[in-house]
């Protein structure tokens, strides 16, 4: 195979991979991992079953890539909103404002990492590790926001618990209001700790 042919083949595989991952994002998040088989992913993506298994040798491999891609996309969306705020304190409360927008989306089904961990965490150490990585990265981001605002380290863990609880409650209740309630609680916690003034 010539270099040109190899490059063309890689482009085809990359395009097929994106189609599969887009389908996996919609199906795994919308229906749950256990409820979706590889044939459903094939149908939704338009990629042949043979090509699908060339790209992802097993459903577990696809699930892991689904989580990795979602982690990157989720954190980019969050930080894009938060970092646009002008002050350290506003960046902390903006986390909860962003959550409210996310919870308001018509296809919101909760946190994909909590959901997938609930389905597979007990039987897949790799899924458990991906969920832990995502949650640790979120906590670490909150810790950086808290430090920039000159507030105690312990506040980051408290804010993380508020956010995680809001994710679950919003999914079950079908309303975005838990984000507002968590924001109000976050402000109370911020008022209880010394630091820069709240906006």
Domain ranges of the chain: 1-57, 62-192
How far is residue 176's CA from residue 102's CA, in Å, rounded to a whole number? 8
The class (CATH top level) of 62-192 is: mainly alpha
The model's pTM: 0.89
Q: What is residue 14's predicted lDDT score, i.e. its pLDDT?
A: 77
Does 62-192 match 1-57 at the fold level?
A: no
Task: Please determine, for residue 13, whether its predicted confidence score (pLDDT) is greater than 70.
Answer: no
Task: Please determine, for residue 2, whether its predicted confidence score (pLDDT) is greater than 80.
Answer: no
Task: Please determine, for residue 83, whether its predicted confidence score (pLDDT) is greater than 90.
Answer: yes
How far is residue 71's CA from residue 142's CA, in Å, rounded to a whole number? 15
Task: Please determine, for residue 45, whether its predicted confidence score (pLDDT) is greater than 60.
Answer: yes
Arch. (CATH architecture) of 1-57? Orthogonal Bundle (1.10)
Taking CA atoms, 141 is separated from 75, 126, 156, 169, in Å, by: 9, 23, 9, 22
């Amino acid at each position: 195979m010539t270099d040109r042919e190899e490059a063309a083949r890689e482009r085809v595989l990359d395009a097929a991979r994106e189609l599969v991952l887009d389908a996996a994002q919609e199906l795994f998040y919308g229906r749950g991992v256990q409820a979706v088989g590889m044939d459903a992913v094939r149908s939704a993506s338009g990629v042949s079953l043979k090509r699908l298994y060339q790209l992802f040798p097993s459903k577990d491999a696809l699930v892991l890539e689904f989580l990795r891609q979602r982690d990157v996309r989720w954190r980019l969306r969050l930080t894009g909103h938060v970092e646009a705020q002008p002050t350290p304190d506003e960046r902390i409360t903006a986390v909860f404002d962003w959550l409210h927008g996310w919870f308001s989306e018509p296809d919101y089904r909760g946190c994909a990492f909590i959901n997938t961990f609930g389905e597979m965490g007990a039987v897949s150490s790799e899924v458990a590790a991906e969920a832990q990585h995502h949650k640790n990265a979120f906590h670490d981001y909150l810790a950086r926001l808290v430090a920039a605002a000159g507030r105690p380290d312990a506040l980051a863990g408290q804010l993380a618990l508020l956010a995680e609880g809001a994710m679950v409650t919003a999914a079950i209740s079908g309303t975005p209001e838990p984000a507002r309630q968590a924001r109000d609680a976050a402000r109370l916690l911020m008022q209880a700790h010394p630091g820069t003034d709240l906006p």
